[in-house]
Amino acid sequence: MSEITLNTAVSGVPEAPSRTAPVRTTGAVAWARQNLFGSWWSTAVTLALAYLIVRWTIGFVEWAFLNAIWEVPVVNGQAQTQACREIKGIGACWAVITEKHRFILFGTYPFEEHWRPALVCLLFVGLYVVSAMRRFWNWTLVPIWAVTLTLIGVLMWGGVFGLSYVPQERWGGLPITLILSTFGLAFAFPLAILVALGRRSKLPAIKMLCVLYVELIRGVPLISLLFMASVMFPLFLPEGMNIDKLLRAQVAITLFAGAYLAEVVRGGLQALSRGQYEAADALGLSYWQKTGLIILPQALRMVIPPLVNTFIGFFKDTSLVLIIGIFDLLTAGKTAIVEPAWQGFGIEVYITVGVIYLVFCFAMSRYSQDLERDLNRHRRR
């Protein structure tokens, strides 16, 4: 007697025949089957794109690494770039980065003092890391910022503690980009909160003033504000009074960023339900207690993605200070290839500068995602 017949005779219920396992509906394989190979047309497009990506990747690896030149000889202080020109289009000439990396990173800052702007960059990175740790989200962060920024100013300017004085006109490269973006956003964010609250104020004068500021600043490009800060503003100062060009650019960037961030914050305030305001009023809280303890924390939590998107945009927009003659990272990279020996090797410089921008922007993006997920964890329960 067969096994199926025996089992049927014992239990009285026929045994179901064996079947193949069902197709997986979750995981990477299921996602690829559904999105990349769902039909013959989708499969054809996927294979064609995969072929192009593989070909481009192989070509880039050969150009950037296998056929690249990393160093060139220097004779009488002049780089001999004949070897780079012979392989132009076939391999990269990273020798331009090897030769000009200090100028790209630090501009015209005195060569023997490059350890100072390098230390400033490390201090900025350390400040970002400490500020990202939630255990420091209290008043202890204020002295940390104060001490760090004081050290940055001392290192860049010098003139004390045996450090030679370096005028602002000699600053450039990555420190300028970090100074403009960090100070600009640090001062623009509280300004944006005040302006956003002012636009929702019941006092007509304050509301009109905030609306006028936002609409006026958002209605002109950043280049025009930088030009006015550099050229027009000194015309209104008393004779003999001069304000540092970097400070004028910093004020223009702060005002510009504040107007855009104010609209982001206002969006979070408007998205908050009316019940939160009514509950705060029922507790008998004052306006500033209600705003600081209940309204703003929830509103800012909801607009983390657009806030960070605006931060990233302004971090890159600092390159526009070229219009007023300030050598930021991108401008220093452009200037590095002005020398006749290195003309024609801009791709390598732009790739290097782009990677630096990518590192900072990607770090901000990833941190914002983790922060948003952490702060909104209660909503998934």
- pLDDT tens-digit map of 12-71: 555 666 766 555 566 788 888 888 888 889 999 999 999 999 999 999 999 999 999 999
- Residue of 292 and 6 predicted with greater confidence: 292
The yes-or-no verdict on residue 350 having pLDDT over 70 is: yes
Contacts of 258 (CB under 8 A, 6+ apart): 187, 188, 189, 191, 192, 195, 217
> Residue 262's pLDDT is what?
96
Q: What is the pLDDT of residues 352-366, one digit of tens each?
A: 999 999 999 999 999
Under a CB-based contact definition with an 8 Å cutoff, are residues 156 and 114 in contact? no
The yes-or-no verdict on residue 161 having pLDDT over 60 is: yes
Percentage of residues of the chain with pLDDT beyond 90? 61
Q: Helix, strand, or coil here: 297?
A: helix
The yes-or-no verdict on residue 369 having pLDDT over 80 is: yes
Under a CB-based contact definition with an 8 Å cutoff, are residues 315 and 361 in contact? yes
- Averaged pLDDT, 164-176: 94
62 CB burial (10 A radius; 0-12, 13-18, 19+): middle
> Residue 33's pLDDT is what?
83
Please provide the distance, in angstroms rounded to a whole number, between the alpha carbons at the two ends of the chain. 56
- Domains of the chain plus CATH, in order, are 114-380 (1.10.3720.10)
> Residue 13's pLDDT is what?
54
Q: What is the pLDDT of residues 251-282, one digit of tens each?
A: 999 999 999 999 999 999 998 888 888 888 88
> Residue 22's pLDDT is what?
59
Structure tokens at 90: 């076939």
pTM for the model stands at 0.86
Structure tokens at 234: 């000194």
Of 122-126, 235-239, 254-258, 315-319, give the lowest mean pLDDT range: 235-239
332 CB burial (10 A radius; 0-12, 13-18, 19+): buried
The yes-or-no verdict on residue 110 having pLDDT over 70 is: yes
Structure tokens at 370: 């983790």
Distances in Å between the alpha carbon of 320 and those of 2, 175, 253, 279, 335?
A: 84, 15, 10, 46, 15
The yes-or-no verdict on residue 77 having pLDDT over 90 is: no
> Residue 35's pLDDT is what?
84
> Residue 81's pLDDT is what?
86
> Residue 177's pLDDT is what?
96
